[in-house]
Amino acid sequence: MRTRRAGGNNKGYTLVEIMVVVAILAVALTYTGMSIALVVTTNVRKCANNMNALISQARVNTMYKVEPSVTFRVSGGSIIGDYYEGGTRKESKEMGSAGISVTVEYDGGSFTLTDGGTPVNIAFTRGTGALKEGGSPRSYTKCTAIRLTRGNSAYSIIISPATGKHEIELG
């Protein structure tokens, strides 16, 4: 049996040492990749939750406030939600960060919100809670869905124009 001598000519690493290092690196890279995917998914989900909450606020306030409405727009790459009562902006806040794409679907088509472009406006009818009718698809839309995507992560706010009911779905 051979033994290593102290101070001998031992250069390099053994196969076992290399395999251990490769295994450690593989585990570390796997966790890093999963963390990045989780951050992207969390950002899109947070944006969908924020938008859904603002829509809920407008729908609930329709019952007792002066014509509330919600506007979603993109400014500086971020998605901004504006809450209005009687045509006066009462609140404006960031719904989501840059990199999230917002597509609005309505009866007859769809459009994507762009930086500095025309926003989408949503309002509800006082008596029924249904979506308010408007002239163009972007003005008090007959919106059926708002889809948020970033990479492989996607969430949708599905809206029933007849009742105003809305909910978040994955995908």
Q: Is 86 part of a structural domain of the chain?
A: yes
pLDDT interval class at 167 (50, 70, 90): very high
Give the Å distances, CA to CA, from 42 to 80, 100, 124, 136. 18, 11, 29, 33
- Name the one residue in this structure whose structure tokens are 């919106």: 143
* Domains contained in the chain, number: 1
Residue 6 lies in a domain: no
Long-range contact list for 133-137, CB < 8 A, 24+ apart?
137/104, 137/106, 137/108, 137/109, 137/111
Q: Considering the domain boundaries, does residue 99 fall inside one? A: yes
* Residue 9 domain flag: no
pLDDT of residue 15: 86
C-alpha angle 55-98-168 in degrees, rounded to nearest 5: 35
Q: Is residue 69 part of a domain?
A: yes
Range of the domain at 70: 15-170
> At 29, which CATH number?
3.55.40.10
pLDDT recorded at residue 5: 56
Mean predicted confidence (pLDDT) in 90-113: 87
Q: Answer whether residue 1 is part of any domain.
A: no
pLDDT tens digits for 17-73?
A: 888 888 888 887 776 666 665 554 578 888 899 999 999 999 988 888 778 889 999
pTM: 0.73
| pLDDT at residue 139 is higher than 90 | no
